[in-house]
Chain A
C-alpha cells in the first residue's frame, strides 16, 4: 500500500514537472514610464557594466572595444538566434532581469516586440535622443506609441530574390522587373534543367517569405490603407484582393513547377545550398541571410545577385518589403546612461553604415553614409521613391496571424486547403490576437 502510494506520488511529481517551468517566470516589475530618457551622458560620467542582448555579435563586436576604451564601460554581450532571443527577453522582462539594451522585433508581431513592450511600460522613451530625428518616417508605425519613439533602428533588411549569377549567365537571363518577365525567366530556367526557385517549406517560417515579398506590392502598394482598415474592423483578409492575388501567385509558382519539388519536405538550408551549388537559381529571403547564401557559393558574394520580386505588369508598381531591426533600452536598465551612450555612439553616420555593411544589410538612419554594394544598389531606388513596406507580419497584432499563414498555408500547398481557407484562418487569428 505504502509502495503503491509512493509510486503514485512519483508519477504525479514527474508529470508535474511539465507544468512547472511555465510558472517559473512569473512576477513582473515592469513599471509605467512616461518620462523621456535623458540625453546621453558624457564619457566622464560613464562607467560600470552595460549588458546587451542581440541576435548576432557581428554588429556589436565592431564597436564594443572602442566604446569601452572611450567610456570605460565594460560591455557584456549575449547573442542568440532572433526567435529564441525574443522568447528569452519576454521572460526576462517579466521577471525583471532583462539586459540594459536588447534586440526587439518591430511592431506587435511577437510578445517581445517593441510596441508590446512599450505598451506595458517596459521600454525607455527614446524620443529626445540626438539620433531620433534621423529615423525614417516610414518606421514610425513599427516603433512609435503615442508619438514617442521607443527603438533605435540598427539597420534595415529587405525581402528580395537572391540569385546565382553564374546560373543566370549560363541560361542567358536577366533579373526581371515585371511579373510576365519573371515567369519568362522561370520558364527559361526550367527549360535549362534548373530549379527556378529553391523553396524549403519544411521550415515553416519560410512559408512567409514569398507572400511577404508579393504582398508588399499587391497589398501595401495597391491598397496602402489596408492594414489601417483591417485594424479598424472595416475589412478582412478574405475581402482583400491583394492578399488573394498574393496567395494565387505564390501557390501558382509551386503548382506550375517553378519551385523545388515537394517543397514541404525540403528544409531551408539545403534549399539555400542548392542555389549556391547552381542546381537552383533563386531563393527568396531576408537580406540579413544573404551572407549565409554567399558562403554557399563558390565565388562568394560576388557570385550573388539580387532583385525585387515584381508582382504586376508595371515595374513602377513594385514595392520592396523592407523592415528595420531594433535595439531598445530596458525601462529598468541598471546602467541606462551607458545604454543611451552606446546608441549615441553607434548612431554616428559612418558607424551605422559600417554595422549595416557588416550585416549584409542597409543602413536604417537617414543620415547614414551610403554603402556602395550590390544589395544597397538593389534597394536604394525603392527607398528613394518611397516604394517600401514593412514585412507584413510587423503590421499584425501578434504571432497568431503568421502562424495561421504558415499552418494553413502549408495545407494549401499540400492541396488539402484552399486560398479562402488560408485567408479565413488569418482573419480568425487576427481577431484572436486582437482580444
Chain B
C-alpha cells in the first residue's frame, strides 16, 4: 500500500479507536465473555441431563451394579461375558445386518423416489406427502400395524392370494429366516420418506444451468445423473446415510413390538438386549456395558461412513 493510499484509508476510517495497550484486558475481554455467560444455563442443563449420565453410564459398564445400593468395580468382566453371550453375539450380527441393509436399500429407494418426484409430474406434491406420511407415525404404532399386516391369513396374505401369488405366502414373523427381513421392510416403509425429503432438498439445490450445459455438450440422462446429479448430491447422501445408519444401529421399537427379538434370537438387536438386561433382569452393569459397546460401534461406523461419503462431496 502506498503512503498516500494509506493516508486516505486512515482518513476514511474516522477517529482512531483507543489503543488496546491503553486498556489492558478489561471491557474487550468482558465483551468476548458475555455471550458465553448466556450459554451457561443451557450448558449446565446439557451437562446434567446428557454428559453426566453418559459418563456415569460408561462407569457402570465396568461394575456389577444390579439396581441396588452397591456397584462393585469388576474391570472388563462384563465385556468378557458379552463375548460368551450367544444372544449378544447374535444381536450384534443382526444389528449390523439391519444397519447395512437399511442404509443401502432405504437410501437407494429414497433417491429413486426423490428423482421421480423432482420431475414435473402433476401429482408430485400429493405423492411427496403420501410417501412422507408414514414418518409422522410413532414407531410403536408402525410396529403394531405391520404386526397385523404380517398376521397369518392377514392383509398381506390375503392380498397375495388375491393376486394369484399365494405361493409367496410365508410365516412373515414366525420364521427365523424371514422375520428380520420382514422387520427391515416395515422400517423402510416407515423411514423412506425421510431419505426422500433429504434427497429432494439436495436435488432442488442443483442449478438447472448445469443440466442445460451438460445437455448442450450432448450428455444423455444417465450421463447427466452420473456427472452432475450424483456429485452434487454428495452432502445429501452424507446426511441421509448418516441418519439412516445411526437410527438403524439403535433400532428398538419396531423389533420390540413385532417380535420381541424372536423367534428365538433371530431378530434380537443390541438395543433390545441392552433393554432386557438392564430393565427386565436388573443387570444394569451388564446393560451399561452393552450400551457402551453399541455407542462405540455407532461412533466408529458413522465416523467411517461420514469420512467416506464426505470425500465425494462437491459444492454446486
A interface, CB within 8 angstroms of B: 7-8, 11-26, 28, 30, 83, 87, 90-91, 93-94, 110-112, 116, 120, 201-205, 260-267, 270, 398-400, 403, 406-408, 410-411, 413-414, 416-417, 433
Classify the secondary structure of B's interface with A.
helix
State the Cβ distance, A29 to closest chain B Cβ, in Å.
8
B152 touches A22 (CB 8 A): no
Please measure, in the bound complex, the distance between the C-alpha atom of A24 and the C-alpha atom of B65, giving whole angstroms: 13
Question: Which residue on chain A has the smallest CB distance to residue B61?
Answer: A19
Give Cα A112–Cα B57 distance, bound, in whole angstroms. 21
Please indicate the chain A residues that have their CB under 8 angstroms from the CB of B147 in the complex. Answer: 202, 267
A-B contact number at CB 8 A: 172
- Checking A87, A400, A403, A413 against B263 with a beta-carbon cut-off of 8 angstroms, the contacting residue is A413
> Which are the 8 A-B pairs with shortest beta-carbon distances?
A265-B174, A111-B282, A264-B174, A23-B57, A23-B56, A19-B57, A20-B53, A411-B264
Interface-central residue, A11, A93, A263, by most chain B CB under 10 Å: A11
**Residue positions of B touching A, CB distance < 8 A:** 49-50, 52-61, 65-69, 71, 87, 147-148, 150-152, 154, 171-176, 246, 250, 258-265, 271, 274, 276, 278-282, 284, 287-288, 291-292, 294-296, 298-299, 302-303, 306
> When the two chains form their complex, are residues B260 and A22 in contact, meaning their CB atoms are under 8 A apart?
no
Pair A399/B280 contact, Cβ less than 8 Å: yes
Q: Which residues of B contact A413 (CB under 8 A)?
A: 263
* Contacting pair B152 A266 (CB below 8 A): yes
**Which one of B66, B291, B306 has the highest number of Cβ atoms from chain A below 10 Å of its Cβ?**
B291
Which A-chain residue is minimally distant from B60 (CB atoms)? A23
**Pairwise interchain contact B54-A19, C-beta atoms closer than 8 A:** yes
Q: Which of A17, A202, A205, A261 has the most C-beta atoms of chain B within 10 angstroms of its own C-beta?
A: A202
**Which residues of B are found within 8 Å of A16, using beta-carbon distances?**
50, 54, 295
Are B291 and A19 in contact (CB-based, < 8 A)?
A: yes
A-B contact pairs, 27 of them (CB 8 A): A7-B306, A11-B299, A14-B302, A15-B246, A17-B50, A19-B291, A22-B278, A24-B49, A24-B53, A26-B60, A91-B67, A91-B279, A111-B281, A111-B282, A202-B173, A202-B258, A260-B152, A264-B175, A265-B151, A265-B175, A266-B152, A270-B148, A398-B281, A408-B264, A410-B262, A414-B175, A417-B264
Q: Contacts of B148 on A, CB cut-off 8 Å?
A: 267, 270
Q: Which of B66, B69, B280, B298 contacts A18 (CB 8 A)?
A: B298
**Complex Cα gap A91–B287 (Å):** 14
| B151: nearest chain-A partner, CB-CB | A270
Residues of chain A lying within 8 A (CB to CB) of residue B278: 22
A262-B291 Cα distance, complex, nearest whole Å: 34
Residues of chain B with a CB closer than 8 A to A406's CB:
262
> Contact between A411 and B280 (Cβ–Cβ < 8 Å)?
no
Dominant SS at the A interface? helix
The CA of A18 and the CA of B151, in the complex, are separated in Å by: 32
* Chain B nearest CB, measured from A137 CB (Å): 29
Q: Could you tell me if B152 and A14 are in contact, using CB atoms closer than 8 angstroms?
A: no
**Chain A minimum-CB-distance residue to B270:** A18
Complex Cα distance, B264 from A408, in Å, reads 6
Do residues A15 and B299 form an inter-chain contact, with CB atoms below 8 A? yes
Q: How far is the CA of A17 from the CA of B299 in the complex (A)?
A: 11
Q: Which residues of B contact A87 (CB under 8 A)?
A: 279-280
Q: Which residues of B contact A414 (CB under 8 A)?
A: 174-176, 263-264
Q: Is the CB of A23 within 8 A of B67?
A: no
With beta carbons under 8 angstroms apart, the residue of B68, B154, B279, B288 that contacts A23 is B288
Identify the closest chain B residue to A404 (Cβ). Answer: B87
Taking CB as reference atom, which chain B residue is nearest A116? B282
Instruction: Tell whether, in the assembled complex, residue B174 and residue A416 are in contact, meaning their CB atoms are under 8 Å apart.
Output: no
Taking the closest CB of chain A, its distance from the CB of B312, in whole angstroms, is: 16
Q: When the two chains form their complex, are residues A407 and B87 in contact, meaning their CB atoms are under 8 A apart?
A: yes
Q: Looking at the complex, which one of B56, B262, B274, B299 makes contact with A264 (CB distance below 8 Å)?
A: B262
Contact of A19 among B173, B260, B292 (CB under 8 A): B292
Q: Is the CB of B174 within 8 A of A30?
A: no
CB-CB nearest in chain A for B64:
A435
Residues A94 and B54 in contact in the complex (CB < 8 Å), given A18-B294, A22-B278, A407-B262 = no
B169 to chain A, nearest CB (A): 10
Complex interface: chain B residues within 8 A of A94 (CB):
67-68
